[in-house]
Structure 1
């Protein structure tokens, strides 16, 4: 592999006249013989030196290098501290409101039905008043309205099975049971995001900041305190993102291991022949990419909660391929494009996509196992009715399952009914139209003594922390510049989160969609803001060649006093905003004037 060497190794020097020189090495000599006018040729390096060079250019730590004890300690204590804070914020008074709110009316009862029947049974109601009566009886522990007739539902089952864990632990007659699973994965998401930020930015301060910002964001908090599916979707996609980062590191380390002896052998042959080393024609495959398999499992779980997880499968797959391509080019593979496709892209596809597909199918296990599930007998019943069976080459169970998916697909693409809180995705980044999860009727409003005013109200509004979202919108410009002009792979990784969980919604802007769907990409909004803070404070290390850095992503610089001031000011204001909106995120009784003072934009009402 031909490499310029401006400072020749092993004590070689340049021509005294300043021009390039060639060092001709003799096996028995210890001093070079100077031949002016040509480039430097160095002797073969040891495998250790080659390995160090490759790992440095691939952005990896030195082999055997570990974090210093203080960084290891605080790299866990900081994230764990903000995770505990997140858990308290999500679990305290979780039973309030003590009734099903918003779409809990669907998912909690479906989770109870799965736990009871093994499939989603129907809760028949003629109108909204009857639905409210069924919900009231359910909250009181009366489940007699559940029928054994299968209900037509439009989302897969995994998210509801996760809700059922809380029902099993704490009962189905209280809010703690309904919402425990959502609160648990919400708190765990904070820990995972903080550890992701540590891997990306190499700074304990930035990692802890990222975890804190997610802990105090209103979108994430209210979803974590409400039994909806979107929080589980966000969790599994975030797990897959973490696995993707781990795959990047492990794949590059494996490439360095496989390329090192090949480069050493070529340098030895070149030295014997008196010529410059040639670049490698190929670098062998890295073997089974277990972290990518793990990412596939997590993405299959995400799709098993909501179909929108499939966009993460596509985007993260492209990201894994792009990283493989860049790594093979970095190690000097001559046919890096072909190698990336055949020895990188194909194995990556096989590790990720089939794994996600198989995992997704397995999340439907209870549907396959219960003959009374919705449309479970569709294919088997058609011949008895004298009708032909489409796709008759498929087994009846798979054919019925496929037909069910076609029905769900039609529903999701044709949902255009008007809704008060529908919001175009273009408004999500600025939180222009939040979703109200809870607002009791006037006759159910808290009495005056509950808030010490003439009129008291309660609301749970799914509004993101304005300081976080508005500053992140500004930081998005920094992120784009770093990705495009600076070629910062970390910026591209964060943008992949936006591309997977936000951008696809523009294709569905014609149908009824809501701002609370943005919880799926809140982690990347937080990472974007953290990236911007790292850039503004000087704490964000470079993404490129690393030799002595602590982490594989980038070396964190020591913050200046001004940097600390910026970081503490922004996080302090974000915490103050969280305290300000806490009553409206958790449905506390407040005066009408207090509530009105929080409605900064007319579209928030």
Structure 2
């Protein structure tokens, strides 16, 4: 790492504070239920109140905004009030932490998304620094994430995708640290030449931490499974390459590394997933909790409870298959990188706030166009770099991007599923890593000429400045700021955004 580790932390922390200011400023606005907050804010409050999702009264949205505590329906039995939740509960539990701290208000249910969004800026800055050995490029990565419109919107909205993105990024960060620790251990072994078959690499707590994070991603949304599979293969390939680099056979990697790797990245995520249903298992009021007599005490109580949980998961799988109800803002995955059809999270006509007789407030879940369009040539550069040099960084970025994006093609073609642009959020950090790695190639290594470095730094600095200007220009339609019609229309990058 660079000689000044202090700046290696101070720089990313400053960038994260900048991102946090953007996300927490006027976090309670609009004082309304935005998009699918009508589901997740209620589920979260129900979890922290009852341990499971329960039914709300019909006018719950209005009651929530006015602070009423009489929100839950009165039912003859607890099962009558059970709610069928489409996703695992961890993301809702996290939203509920903010509601427990600040109440059932827009600020309360958006607090944890904003906090997690801010933390992800810090993590990405540190990840990029570790991958590039450059504090400047690390800070650039965090800066670009802080300025992305889609990340900004989902950090200020009580939806699940920001939590999925956070846990995926955190798991990747843990695997990067594990990768370095493994190489340090192998270098020490190579210097000592202690055994002819190579060393065992210990319990590897950073890989265990990655398993916990990826399990949390799975316990937020099932699409976390794509990243578990991708990162599991990636880290085992890293191990095999490291052992081969010091003269060991691949067979040794399979024998020594794979069993514990399978436990940390296979078993641990499943344990985390099941643990996320702790409230459902500990109470009698959850959806389907009484299948197989699971709520009746007896010696088979645990087995019946787990059988009921499995039945619930199979029902979830069936409900996700064929989910094709039309929505005005749905889009196909091949259009996502071009930002052709973002979802409108909020829209309101008002009579005050913009200096005109009629004002328009909206929240459009769109990325910052300059960042997303710059990612396209950057990803192409990663393909060329990997084919030419087999650079592990390019390979890791492409793998994460592909596993977060390409599986959606199957659901679009074979299942005709209703999908939205914001499903791309988990791959956004890897798009930015592709941009930052490309910026590193443009700037050149420390051995490059001063002219090359000067031109490269100038180009990269100009790009960062333009990204700031681009975000500033579209920010009013990301934060429900009142605008005149002409102001509102001018900020729509494409007419398909309307």
1:457 Cα offset (Å): 0.4
1:302 paired with 2:217, answer: yes
1:137 paired with 2:93, answer: no
1:410-559 superposed matches below 5 A: 410-440=318-348, 445-447=349-351, 449-509=352-412, 510-539=416-445
1:78 Cα offset (Å): 1.4
1:586 Cα offset (Å): 0.4
Task: Name the counterpart of 1:171.
Answer: 103
Greater fraction helix: 2
Task: Name the counterpart of 1:249.
Answer: 180
- The Cα offsets for residues 273-331 of structure 1, whole Å up to 9 and x where unpaired, read as xxxxxxx5x21321212111110000111111111111111000000111011111110
- The Cα offsets for residues 550-569 of structure 1, whole Å up to 9 and x where unpaired, read as xxxxx9x9972111210111
Give the Cα–Cα distance (whole angstroms) in 2 for the partners of residues 315 and 469 of structure 1.
23
- The Cα offsets for residues 484-518 of structure 1, whole Å up to 9 and x where unpaired, read as 22211111111222133222222211200100111
Task: Name the counterpart of 1:159.
Answer: 91
Give the Cα–Cα distance (whole angstroms) in 2 for the partners of residues 248 and 83 of structure 1.
25
1:81-96 superposed matches below 5 A: 81-96=14-29
8 Å contact from structure 1 (residues 194, 207) kept in 2:
yes
Task: Name the counterpart of 2:198.
Answer: 283
1:455 Cα offset (Å): 2.7
- The Cα offsets for residues 442-493 of structure 1, whole Å up to 9 and x where unpaired, read as xxx211x421234310100011000000011111110111112221111111
1:244 Cα offset (Å): 0.6
SS of the equivalent of 2:287 reads coil
Give 1:380's match in structure 2, choosing from 282, 290, 293. Answer: 293
- The Cα offsets for residues 98-120 of structure 1, whole Å up to 9 and x where unpaired, read as 11110000000111111111110
Give 2:40's match in structure 1, choosing from 99, 102, 107. Answer: 107
Give the Cα–Cα distance (whole angstroms) in 2 for the partners of residues 381 and 428 of structure 1.
43
SS of the equivalent of 2:169 reads helix
8 Å contact from structure 1 (residues 289, 348) kept in 2:
no
1:346 paired with 2:259, answer: yes
Give the Cα–Cα distance (whole angstroms) in 1 for the partners of residues 266 and 167 of structure 2.
15
8 Å contact from structure 1 (residues 315, 499) kept in 2:
no
8 Å contact from structure 2 (residues 294, 305) kept in 1:
no
4+ residue runs of structure 1 moved beyond 6 angstroms? none
1:262 Cα offset (Å): 2.4
8 Å contact from structure 1 (residues 258, 286) kept in 2:
no
Consecutive unaligned residues in structure 2, runs of 5 or more: none
Give the Cα–Cα distance (whole angstroms) in 2 for the partners of residues 190 and 472 of structure 1.
17
Give the Cα–Cα distance (whole angstroms) in 1 for the partners of residues 45 and 452 of structure 2.
51
1:212 paired with 2:143, answer: yes
1:193 Cα offset (Å): 0.3
- The Cα offsets for residues 226-255 of structure 1, whole Å up to 9 and x where unpaired, read as 000000010011110000101111112222
Give 1:233's match in structure 2, choosing from 164, 184, 194. Answer: 164
8 Å contact from structure 2 (residues 343, 366) kept in 1:
yes
Consecutive unaligned residues in structure 1, runs of 5 or more: 1-65, 126-132, 266-279, 384-391, 543-554
Give 2:121's match in structure 1, choosing from 172, 184, 190. Answer: 190
Give the Cα–Cα distance (whole angstroms) in 1 for the partners of residues 294 and 443 of structure 2.
66
Give 2:473's match in structure 1, choosing from 580, 592, 598. Answer: 580
Give the Cα–Cα distance (whole angstroms) in 1 for the partners of residues 191 and 394 of structure 2.
29
Give the alignment's TM-score, normalised by structure 2: 0.94
Task: Name the counterpart of 1:598.
Answer: 491
1:555-574 superposed matches below 5 A: 560-574=453-467
1:394 Cα offset (Å): 8.3
1:67 Cα offset (Å): 4.2
SS of the equivalent of 1:458 reads strand
Flag the structure with larger Rg. 1
- The Cα offsets for residues 98-145 of structure 1, whole Å up to 9 and x where unpaired, read as 1111000000011111111111001254xxxxxxx3201121112423
Give the Cα–Cα distance (whole angstroms) in 2 for the partners of residues 255 and 533 of structure 1.
31
SS of the equivalent of 1:81 reads helix
Give the alignment's TM-score, normalised by structure 1: 0.77
1:369-408 superposed matches below 5 A: 369-380=282-293, 395-408=303-316
8 Å contact from structure 2 (residues 294, 304) kept in 1:
no
Give the Cα–Cα distance (whole angstroms) in 1 for the partners of residues 287 and 125 of structure 2.
41
Give the Cα–Cα distance (whole angstroms) in 1 for the partners of residues 191 and 205 of structure 2.
22
Give the Cα–Cα distance (whole angstroms) in 2 for the partners of residues 73 and 393 of structure 1.
54
Give the Cα–Cα distance (whole angstroms) in 1 for the partners of residues 84 and 69 of structure 2.
19
Give the Cα–Cα distance (whole angstroms) in 2 for the partners of residues 209 and 600 of structure 1.
24
Give the Cα–Cα distance (whole angstroms) in 2 for the partners of residues 485 and 560 of structure 1.
23
8 Å contact from structure 2 (residues 212, 272) kept in 1:
yes
